[in-house]
Amino acid sequence: MEWIRSNPGTQPSRSFLSETWFHLKKNPLAVTGLFVIISLFLLAIFGPWISGYSYFEQNLSERNLYPSVSHWFGTDPLGRDIFTRVSYGARFSLFIGVAAATLDFIIGVIYGGISGLKGGWVDTVMMRIAEALYGIPYLLTVILLSVFLGQGLWSVIIAMAITGWIPMARLVRGQVLQMKEQEYVQASRSFGGGTRWLLRKHIVPNTMGPILVNLTLTVPSAIFAEATLSFLGLGLSAPRASWGTMVNDGLVSLLTGYSYQLLIPAFFISLTMFAFNVLGDGLRDALDPRMRK
């Protein structure tokens, strides 16, 4: 330690996570986005307990109340506390976003990694299949799945996962095509390393930077897609309610003068998208060696 103090230019090496955080915290906007995301998850977990109202509780004598001390976000046309419904809506919206992003990550990394490592005709066939799937109209896919699987949470997630993994697969494939020519990857292959070994030990760890950035941008896209589907009546079915279904319900209230019933869930959708996007931009800069100089 005394030697390090006497040589200020020499610093102990940091891990990948600590190095990323060291550069990320220099970006105030990205730190703000991270704080907002953590706050939203805490709201989803503890919000219903804080409000003191039940998610299903209806009180027609208190319907369409404006925000007040007793009802922080007001009440809806059935007298239900909007703060409680926003908290529960955060659970569904965030779960859909994280689940869709996780499926995109798993399928995209495996598919793109195999395509890039195998190369040749295997790569050509796999990419043509991906392009064919990507050309299927998204709304048509959701409608068909709603018919076969029924309207619900997993129908929305599966509909997003059918084509949502393709951008991740393209990203991973591009990274693999660059990385597989590196000497350490060729040396590992020459010693008998198979596709699974190369993906787990070399490819995925060394492409985590772009993958993490893409992952943080996938979550808000999935949340917004779910909100759009719910607004069109193709999302969650009652009594479940996401932010998108709340916006759909609040559209009628907007016409009757209770605009807060639409603006509050719309604000949380916008806030979530903003937070994940600025965090993704911050991670991109923190993981890019050129931006650290």
Annotate 71-106 with DSSP letters as a single string: STT-B-TT--BHHHHHHHHHHHHHHHHHHHHHHHHH
Residue with the larger pLDDT of the pair 68 and 15? 68
Cα distances (angstroms) measured from residue 274 to each of 30, 164, 216, 269: 10, 20, 11, 9
Coil, strand or helix at 58: coil
CA-based nearest residue to 184, from 202, 208, 207: 202
Q: Look at residue 35 and tell me whether its pLDDT is greater than 90.
A: yes
Coil, strand or helix at 220: helix
- The half-sphere exposure of 208 on its side-chain side, counting CA atoms within 13 A, is 10
Q: Look at residue 184 and tell me whether its pLDDT is greater than 70.
A: no
Q: Give the pTM.
A: 0.79
Domain spans of the chain, in order of start = 16-292
Handedness of CA 270, 271, 276, 279 (dihedral sign): positive
CA-based nearest residue to 166, from 130, 218, 132, 138: 130
CA-based nearest residue to 230, from 162, 144, 158, 142: 142
The reported pLDDT for the residue numbered 123 is 85
CA-based nearest residue to 174, from 121, 102, 117: 117
Q: Please write the tens of the pLDDT for every residue from 238-276.
A: 677 788 888 888 887 777 778 888 899 889 989 998 998
Residue whose structure tokens are 């506390």: 81
Give the relative orientation of helices 153-164 and 166-179 as an angle to the nearest 10 degrees: 40
Cβ density class 81-116: b for 16+ within 10 Å, e for less: bbbbbbbbbbbbbbbbbbbbbebbbebbbbbbbbbb
* Secondary structure letter of residue 158 according to DSSP: H
Q: Please write the tens of the pLDDT for every residue from 97-155.
A: 889 889 988 898 889 888 887 878 888 899 899 888 888 776 677 777 767 776 777 87
- What is the percent of the chain with per-residue pLDDT over 70, rounded to a whole number? 80
CB proximity list for 253: less than 8 A, separation 6 or greater: 64, 76, 77, 259, 261, 262
At 37, the pLDDT band (50, 70, 90 cuts) reads very high
The reported pLDDT for the residue numbered 2 is 44
The CATH number assigned to the domain with range 16-292 reads 1.10.3720.10
The C-alpha atoms of residue 100 and residue 222 are separated, in whole angstroms, by: 7
User: According to the per-residue pLDDT averaged within each range, which of 37-41, 108-112, 279-283 is highest?
Assistant: 37-41
Q: Look at residue 166 and tell me whether its pLDDT is greater than 70.
A: yes
Coil, strand or helix at 142: helix
